[in-house]
Amino acid sequence: MSTPRPASPNPGELAIAEQVAVYQREFPLVDPQVETIVGTLSRVARRMSVAYGRQLTVLGITSAEWEVLKALVVAGSPYQLGPGELAKRLGLTPAAMTHRIDRMVAEDLVTRERDEANRVRVIIELTANGRSKWLESMRMAAVFEEELLQDITAAERPALSEMLGRMLRRIEDTQPDALGRTDDLA
């Protein structure tokens, strides 16, 4: 039998078991196992987001800027995309993408140049500084993620990965705004 978990480290936050007990008191039909899983996943995601944000702050970039860097890296060498394609990949309006690119150009994370072959087209390209910051963020994340998973054995990780993948597919298949884009809800 497992030992009870201590109260949440956040004094204003109930421990998961206490939160589930409140839910059961107020809504007796709640499934405590489901609420425990979902509540735990929610807290893990929130705390991971905070940890990644701290790492990016150390590097002097925001999570929004990191998403642009990631999109350019994922595009592959020479790490270029048009602003419209970037906006589409990130679920942003063209105006929001322009504002983000303006900041990133000023910070030497990306360049914005006219395409010499098609002067109407603009190309956003990852700079050496932007790539360096992205690589350092990945190094920092790898250390954090290994620490995060240290209590999950190598044998358990494939099963966890598969289960979480199924949950992700379910929400992406059933929730129209699951990817952060809400244009289909208007």
pLDDT tens-digit readout, 64-115: 999 999 999 999 999 999 999 999 999 999 999 999 999 999 999 999 999 8
The domain limits of the chain are: 11-59, 63-131
User: For helices 32-59 and 16-26, what crossing angle results, to 10°?
Assistant: 130
Domain 63-131 belongs to what topology?
Arc Repressor Mutant, subunit A (1.10.10)
Q: Give me the sheet containing 80-81, strands edge to edge.
A: 80-81, 118-126, 110-115
Average pLDDT, the chain: 90
The answer to whether 101 touches 110, Cβ cutoff 8 Å, is yes
> Half-sphere exposure of residue 89, counting CA atoms within 13 Å on the CB side?
16
Place 117 in a pLDDT band, splitting at 50, 70 and 90: confident
pLDDT at 138 over 60: yes
The pLDDT value given to residue 177 = 73
